[in-house]
Amino acid sequence: MSLTTPVPGAKFIDPVVLARIGNLEFVARTVVDGLINGTHRSPFFGASVDFAEHRGYVAGDDIRRVDWRVFARTDKYYIKEFEADSNSNFSVLLDVSKSMGFGAKISKLDYAKTLAACLAYLANAQRDRVGIITFDDAIVEHVPPSAKHLDVVLHTLDRAKPLRPGHLVAPLKKLAEHFGRRGIVVVISDFYAEPEEVFDAVGPIRSRGNDVVLFHLLDPQEIDFSFSDPASFEDMESGDQMPIVPTKLAADYRALVQAHIDTLTKESSRKQVDYVPLNTSMPLDFALFRFLSMRERLARSR
């Protein structure tokens, strides 16, 4: 899977340009509307209009949802319910650790903010309850899912800053207790942890029936390791320094990163977790498009 090449001929919005727009709602709407207009059918919509069950009419139900055919046969009022109507929780778990502040043209965190805003906007547009949790080595902000929380979510995203070192496992394990109701959990992070640790962290969330999507954000320099001069490389989180001759290490580094992505891809598939590696040089709407396409494919296969 290519992490850097967009679809040839497609006109996508440069994430750098998006990052310059301060209003996340406007950005999200721009991206999502453009995306929906460009596609005839949203995978989310398609999945939400399926018939679920009939239930007896109670006072207060909308009479427009009475199934008149059933009434004709049984002379009783039944309400027809669809999957789409059972609104799910859509939670974004955003990694705001220091390493997310890295990026040559656009930082990973800015890219993640835009991505999270778009996803929240998209979910909110289909009546899902949206919430957000930002974390580093602990939970930083927690906005519980609600149909009315889009503004709060966007505001929270706007305030997020990479301040402290991060750690996946502890905060995610703690969060798993909060996901009592099945929903969609989107984890946006750079996943600087061993694959086992990543899945140890998201495992409890997944085992509670949540639909987990991992967005793995990487800067082009993290992927290509295109440094040339020998330098002392400083870990943004721990502050450790290490003298490096990039030309001698680049090949090995790229192989290790690729192996990491491959392992995450493979393990995600095995554990029925959606995994989307994203290059921050990739246009955001292209990234969304790819993700939604993948969801559609998976929905068909599941």
Partner 1 sequence: MSFLAPLFLLGLAALAVPVLIHLTQKERKSVVAFPSLMFLRKIPYESVQRRRIRDWLLLALRLAAILLIVAAFARPFLRGSSVAAAAGGARDIVVVLDRSYSMGYGDTWARAQRAAAQAIGSATAADRISLVLFADTAEVALRSTPDRSRAVAEINAASPGPGATKYGPAIKLAGSLLAESLLPRKEMVLVSDFQRGGWQPDDTLRLPGGTTVTTAVIDPPQAASIALTPVTLLRTREPGQAERVTVTAGVLNRTATAANDLPISLEFDGRVVQDLKVSAAANGSASVSFLPVTIPQQPNTRATVRLGTAAAPVDALPRDNVFHFVIAPSAPVPVMTVSQASADAMLYLSRALAIGEAPRFDATLQSPDALAGDALNRARVILLNDVPVGASVAAKLVTFVEGGGGLLIAAGQRTSWPAARAAWLPATIGDTVDRTRGAARLSGIDFGHAIFEPFRAPRSGDFSTARFYSYRALAAAKDASVLARFDTGEPAMVERVAGRGRVIVYASTLDLAWNDLALKPMFLPFVHQVGRHLSGFKEQPAWLTVGQVLDVDAAEIAAGATSGSAARAAAGRTILTPSGQRRDLTAAVASGGTAPATTPALELAEQGFYEIRGTGRDSGPMIVAASNVALAESNLDRMDPKELVAAVTGNGTSGSTPGGDVLPDEAQELAQRVWWYLLFTGILLLIAETLLAHRYSRARV
196-204 CB contacts, 8 Å cutoff, 24+ apart: 197/168, 197/169, 198/168, 198/264, 198/267, 199/267, 199/271, 199/273, 200/169, 200/173, 201/168, 201/169, 201/172, 201/173, 202/172, 202/273, 203/271, 204/172, 204/173, 204/176
Give min distance, CB of 257 to partner 1, in A: 6
Amino acid at 94: L
Give min distance, CB of 88 to partner 1, in A: 33
- CB nearer to partner 1: give 152 or 244: 244
Nearest of 178, 92, 172, 96 to residue 130 by alpha carbon = 92
Report yes or no: 78 and 142 within 8 Å, Cβ to Cβ: no
Nearest of 131, 132, 136, 163 to residue 147 by alpha carbon = 131
Give min distance, CB of 13 to partner 1, in A: 25
- CB nearer to partner 1: give 12 or 111: 111
Give min distance, CB of 236 to partner 1, in A: 5
Query: Cα dist. 29→42, 78, 94, 153, 222 in Å?
Result: 15, 37, 20, 14, 29
What token pair was written down for 86?
């059972």
- CB nearer to partner 1: give 131 or 166: 166
Q: Is 294 exposed, middle or buried (0-12, 13-18, 19+ CB in 10 A)?
A: middle
- CB nearer to partner 1: give 77 or 227: 227
Give min distance, CB of 260 to partner 1, in A: 7
d(CA 275, CA 187) in angstroms, rounded, equals 9
What token pair was written down for 43?
């995978």
- CB nearer to partner 1: give 79 or 168: 168
88 in helix, strand or coil? coil
Give min distance, CB of 18 to partner 1, in A: 22
Q: In which residue are the tokens 């040089």 written?
A: 281
- CB nearer to partner 1: give 131 or 195: 195
Footprint of partner 1 (CB under 8 A): 98-100, 102, 108, 190, 192, 219, 222, 227, 229-238, 240-245, 248-249, 252-253, 256-257, 260
- CB nearer to partner 1: give 97 or 268: 97
Give min distance, CB of 192 to partner 1, in A: 4
- CB nearer to partner 1: give 34 or 165: 165
Give min distance, CB of 189 to partner 1, in A: 11
51 in helix, strand or coil? strand
